[in-house]
Structure 1
Amino acid sequence: MKKNSQKRKFGTILLSLAALFAVLFSTAACKTDSDDDELNSVTISPSEATINANGQTSLFANVDKKGSGTPVYKWTITSGVEYATLENETFSTCVVTGKNTTASAQSVKVKCTVTFASTTKEAEATVTVSAAKVELESVSIAGSAEIGSTANTELTATPVFSIEGASPTVTYTWTITAGSEYAELSESTTGTVTLTAKNTDTVEHEVTVKVTAAYDGTTKEATTTVKILAAGQVVENKVTSVTVSAAKDSIDCNGSTTLTATAEYSGNPEITYTWTITAGGDYAELSESATETVTLTAKNTTTAEQTVTVKVSASDGTNSVESTCAVTVGAAAAVETGNVIKASDTPLGFAGVNYAMPTFTNVVTVTTRKELMNAIKKENSLIYIDGMIDMSDEGSGSKLPAEGASNIAVSSVMDSWIASKTSNAYTTYGAWVEAYAAACSTSTNDKDKTPTKGKHSSLYDTVWTLNNAWKSVIQLNLKSNTTIIGLGNNSGIRGGTISISGIENVVIRNLTLVDAIDMFPHHEYEDGFNAQFDCITIQGSNTANIWIDHCTMKDTLVMQHVQSGTKEKWQNYDGLCDIKGDGKGITVSNCHMYHHDKTMLVGSDDDEGDNTVRKLSVINNHFDTCVQRLPMARNSQFHVLNNWYTFDTTQEVGDGKKKGDSCIGARKGALIYSEANYFDSNMQYSIRGNEKTASTAKVYDTGSVDNNSKKTSEYTEVSSAPFTVPYSYEPMTAENAKTYVAANAGAGVWTVAK
């Protein structure tokens, strides 16, 4: 007892001292949690990388810190700045883009400086930018245009390569193609040859000489004509003409190129050259030279391309001839204002983990279905869509109902198409709907080739003939390393479905995707007529690194009930963005998903998928008047971050629904990390599971604002994130996320930098 009494007395003394110090130092700054923040170390992954001459790679700063604050990042190139550029210099992940135009590999040192609390630490990585490929582009011949009847002249071949300053070994073949009886060539496989005249006639003759230059499997040819004077005639030494060419006719705002003058002359005059800029002198300057070559260096500080005109004068002391050459000088980088979408942006979330930035070899802008279908046939494609493309229009007009239609009446183009696909058994779309509805009952099952429940309708073969034919019209089958970006504020696809299957490194941004309609839904057992096409379908076991960003996906048509048979629902829509298979790194971010029922399914059934493999991020999206599956996930790791959920009850969605059902669906094997989402009212459940799979669906929700009244225990609520997020991000509060998403989600909101 005495011992305890002493403890109480000691505790009382401590409390008294604490009170005294509180009085004495009440105006002093109190110690906060941030005082314990500490930056331990910074490393860069990868520390070494190799990219193509104009390729790209992402570098990620790994920060070991104590505390919950946000580090400040600054990326710089410390050496080799002429061979690469940086983007995202103030983020945890930066993008390095090669710009090596030399014939040798170059080393670029990249440093990341991280400041956290009061500590700054640095790390450095090395990026090797491979040599640019040297290609032989052309060859020309220089030499006297006129010699005496028995004189000789040296002809010189000058090759032009794709890389300025390159001088690889070229093999030459020289031949006289006309006038060989009046001259002969010395033997030579080099760039110079001697032409010796042997004209014994009393009249002059012309001799044509051809050179063939060969390098790395490529050959280029050039010819020149030399006049052979008659016996006794005297050659006048004079310059007769001059031409000028640029090694590169287009250079960067601070780039350079070599200009070369090629003079034609008779005899052997001594020629001097004078170079001047006659237009655009504010945007470039010339090196001093009185020879046939000069260097033009750009100095354009404007945000527009400029044209620089250079004149060369060639003089033999008595005569003077002139020629000009124009070089385009690129614009200086504009100071970007607002938010910008670029093809070089690195994906957010899981899609950015191990993402490999493609080297685009096919860059096109498309405005029609035909152009788009051709563009997607190639890998490494950067495709810009300008305007809305109707995927049902094969050249004869749209087969779709009018946008916003409240019935399923379609155009005469569709009627003709159906007639052609059914050998005129059905001459209108309405006739097909009526016939198929009459052939079905609630027990009809046309879903599978061998149904386990119900039986096929009498039109089973016909419905799938039409459905597959329709699929071939509207489906876009993408290749790996494809980026598609919509230009402007109203570019995208209507009536199409984008298929991403078994491929990697795909980016889809700033597209408006409207009415992915299945015009030929099949009947399912006791479930009406069901569609199978989504705006975007992601599937396949080898699918990886898929980024859907700043897209608007929406329905405009109202689901109908067929007017014969059982009057069951005639469903034209499936999902907006459905995901099946073991997708390794998928992100849907900054999208506006609008006016849809079953919006985003992940996992087709409880036995499909693996939550150690399938990993997805859903970030900064606006789920607007969508009934359910926002998303609904099975067997996946799911980071659901800073999304905004709303429902307009004045609208009718799907099969007459005027109220939302559930936002996040947690089914079998789902590991869901819900972070700072804003759930408006008018949805029944913010997070909902399933009683049968509750034990395997783990959900951790933190920082969210939940205005929905219904709760559920149909999943296992855990006290911490059920997986480790492998990427860096900066979460907003739910309130701030709502404001941000309202201003930034969807297509046409951000500017596209092409």
Structure 2
Amino acid sequence: MSRSKCHARVIGGLRAAVSLAGCTALVLAVTGTATAQAQDRDPGREGLAAGDGWGSAGTGTTGGSAADAAHVRTVTTWEQFRTALREGGSAPKIIKIRGAIDANAAGCSSFAADGYDFGAYLEKYSPENWGLDTDLEGEPADSPEGLRRISAARQAEAVKVSIPANTTVIGVGRNAGLKGASLQITGVDNVIVRNLTVESPLDCFPQWDPTDGATGNWNSEYDSAVVYGSTHVWLDHNTFTDGAHPDSSLPRYFGMVYQQHDGELDIVKGADFVTASWNVFTEHDKTLMIGNSDSAATAAVDRGHLKVTLHHNLFSGVVERAPRVRFGQVDAYNNHYVADTSYAYSFGIGMESQLVAEKNAFTLPAGVSAAKILKKWKEAPVTATGNHVNGAPVDLIAVHNAEIPAETLQSGAGWTPTLRTRVDSPKAVPGIVDHRAGAGKIC
């Protein structure tokens, strides 16, 4: 049951009590009953409600709600979490995370290959010594780049964890979470992740690519969560954040930010039927990507898939990709976007995308135009109606086309979403979403 439905049930019960009896004693009795029911309720046993976004299509998303007692575990360490995920194969399971678990508690030095020296890496591959015309792919295993690759592989083995089919991973209480972990939801069906604060993994060994752009760039691995070729996934009431390591804290080498973050959530490689609801995405650059390439090979996998619903999420202080879309039919409604001066765009219109963006609210700082909300990467139609910017209705396509005529957008995504359980007025969205989205706020 969603927080809004739970809230409505309690309030509805109170109103009924007052109407029927008009006395304080009965109101208190009803309140006590509702409180007891809430205390008895186990959110780990809940599945996605019927009609709640693309994740509810077809067989729906129930996660591990049918787990027997032997497949319900509470974990407090990273190793316990990894073990619990492996046990029982694809039998329904519920894994409850208590407290904050750090996947990288031993620190970056624990992954470094013998002989790896970052100073030697910087010296060999500096633009002055290496140039900007040749990438590092051919470097041997005993080179600084080869030792970086070995170190990176060790980190990947340690911090990536696969979520099996028919699983619910849920935080207990208000302070549960994962730090430095990368959740891999790969090639499976029926997964739920709820009530977790997920601090972005910090890539200990980013790769320098001299050929990336005019002056080279640092590239990192490890999304906080990846839905890769999986179906029926529900991500709800999570907080995705860079936490103690925002991009502003990262150093610069070769004149570029030493980028140690990848995405907060990626939905790629033919993934389908995903609902992301009541999450907070904050303090991040490349936030949420749906479809990861324009290539012919990727198109063959992604066409007809990547059906995703995003509703009642808070995007606060993120730079871009909220989301960037390729190929998919994506329904984004009732989200709140709070920008700062680093803002680039929210909705990226990419290859063969069919984005519907309706009744969202945008809070933009002075000097940031609503024309930036939509970003055209490729020719694709988009529906953007009923949206508010700083409390007033704005036609996002019209303002974009008027101010950025070189990137004219087509109106009309060509489909109409039907899988919505509640749609709030965009004027009410900031008050609703800001107070109810994120970890620790499941009713």
Tell me the TM-score normalised to structure 2 length: 0.78
Q: What corresponds to 2:271 in structure 1?
A: 583
Q: 1:209-608, aligned counterparts within 5 Å?
A: 334-336=36-38, 341-346=43-48, 348-354=52-58, 355=60, 357=62, 358=64, 359-361=66-68, 362-378=71-87, 379=90, 380-393=92-105, 398-399=106-107, 414-415=108-109, 417-418=110-111, 421-423=112-114, 425-426=115-116, 432-442=117-127, 443=132, 449=137, 458-524=143-209, 525-526=211-212, 527-540=216-229, 543-555=230-242, 556-559=244-247, 560-562=250-252, 566-607=254-295, 608=298
Deviation at 1:536, TM superposition (A): 0.4
- Please say if 1:717 is aligned against 2:405: no
- Please say if 1:689 is aligned against 2:372: no
Closer/same/farther in 2, CA of residues 456 and 705 from structure 1, 3 Å limit:
farther
Distance in 2 between residues matched to 1:441 and 1:457, nearest whole Å: 18
Q: Which amino acid aligns with 2:350?
A: R
8 Å contact kept, 1:363–1:382: yes
Distance in 2 between residues matched to 1:604 and 1:456, nearest whole Å: 29
Deviations 1:676-722 (A, max 9, x none): 000111355111112xx22xx11111110134976545353324x52
8 Å contact kept, 2:268–2:306: no
Deviations 1:126-172 (A, max 9, x none): xxxxxxxxxxxxxxxxxxxxxxxxxxxxxxxxxxxxxxxxxxxxxxx
Q: What corresponds to 1:308 in structure 2?
A: none
Deviations 1:257-284 (A, max 9, x none): xxxxxxxxxxxxxxxxxxxxxxxxxxxx
Deviations 1:539-592 (A, max 9, x none): 12xx101111100000131443345xx243211101000121111101111111
| Secondary structure at the counterpart of residue 660 of structure 1 | coil
Give the paired residue count.
Answer: 379
8 Å contact kept, 2:166–2:191: yes
| Secondary structure at the counterpart of residue 392 of structure 1 | coil
Tell me the TM-score normalised to structure 1 length: 0.47
Distance in 1 between residues matched to 2:382 and 2:417, nearest whole Å: 14
| Secondary structure at the counterpart of residue 587 of structure 1 | strand
Distance in 1 between residues matched to 2:351 and 2:237, nearest whole Å: 29
Closer/same/farther in 2, CA of residues 635 and 377 from structure 1, 3 Å limit:
same
Q: What corresponds to 1:664 in structure 2?
A: 347
Q: Which amino acid aligns with 1:561?
A: P
Closer/same/farther in 2, CA of residues 712 and 586 from structure 1, 3 Å limit:
farther
Closer/same/farther in 2, CA of residues 336 and 712 from structure 1, 3 Å limit:
farther
Deviation at 1:422, TM superposition (A): 2.5
Higher relative contact order (CA 8 A, sep 6+): 2
Q: Percent identity?
A: 24
Closer/same/farther in 2, CA of residues 665 and 568 from structure 1, 3 Å limit:
same
Closer/same/farther in 2, CA of residues 629 and 457 from structure 1, 3 Å limit:
farther
Q: What corresponds to 1:129 in structure 2?
A: none
Deviation at 1:344, TM superposition (A): 1.7
Deviation at 1:456, TM superposition (A): 11
Q: What corresponds to 1:319 in structure 2?
A: none
8 Å contact kept, 1:366–1:372: yes
Closer/same/farther in 2, CA of residues 596 and 444 from structure 1, 3 Å limit:
farther
8 Å contact kept, 2:171–2:195: yes
Deviation at 1:345, TM superposition (A): 3.0
8 Å contact kept, 2:228–2:269: yes
Deviation at 1:450, TM superposition (A): 6.3
Q: Where does structure 2 lack aligned partners over 5 or more consecutive residues?
A: 6-28, 391-395
Q: Which protein has the larger Cα radius of gyration, Structure 1 or Structure 2?
A: 1
Distance in 1 between residues matched to 2:34 and 2:260, nearest whole Å: 50
Deviation at 1:621, TM superposition (A): 0.5
Deviation at 1:611, TM superposition (A): 4.3
Q: What corresponds to 1:429 in structure 2?
A: none
Q: 1:146-185, aligned counterparts within 5 Å?
A: none
Deviation at 1:602, TM superposition (A): 1.4
Q: CA RMSD in A?
A: 3.1
Deviation at 1:342, TM superposition (A): 4.5
Distance in 2 between residues matched to 1:365 and 1:727, nearest whole Å: 33
Closer/same/farther in 2, CA of residues 342 and 612 from structure 1, 3 Å limit:
same
Relative to total residues, which structure has the larger helix share, 1 or 2? Answer: 2
Deviations 1:428-471 (A, max 9, x none): xxxx3322222224527667x569xxx99942321111111001
8 Å contact kept, 2:207–2:218: yes
Q: What corresponds to 1:739 in structure 2?
A: 431
Distance in 2 between residues matched to 1:549 and 1:445, nearest whole Å: 43
Q: Which amino acid aligns with 2:67?
A: F
Deviation at 1:730, TM superposition (A): 2.4
8 Å contact kept, 2:325–2:353: yes
Q: Where does structure 1 lack aligned partners over 5 or more consecutive residues?
A: 1-86, 92-300, 305-330, 400-413, 427-431, 649-657
Closer/same/farther in 2, CA of residues 715 and 478 from structure 1, 3 Å limit:
farther
| Secondary structure at the counterpart of residue 345 of structure 2 | strand
| Secondary structure at the counterpart of residue 158 of structure 2 | helix
Relative to total residues, which structure has the larger strand share, 1 or 2? Answer: 1
Closer/same/farther in 2, CA of residues 633 and 372 from structure 1, 3 Å limit:
same
8 Å contact kept, 2:237–2:278: yes
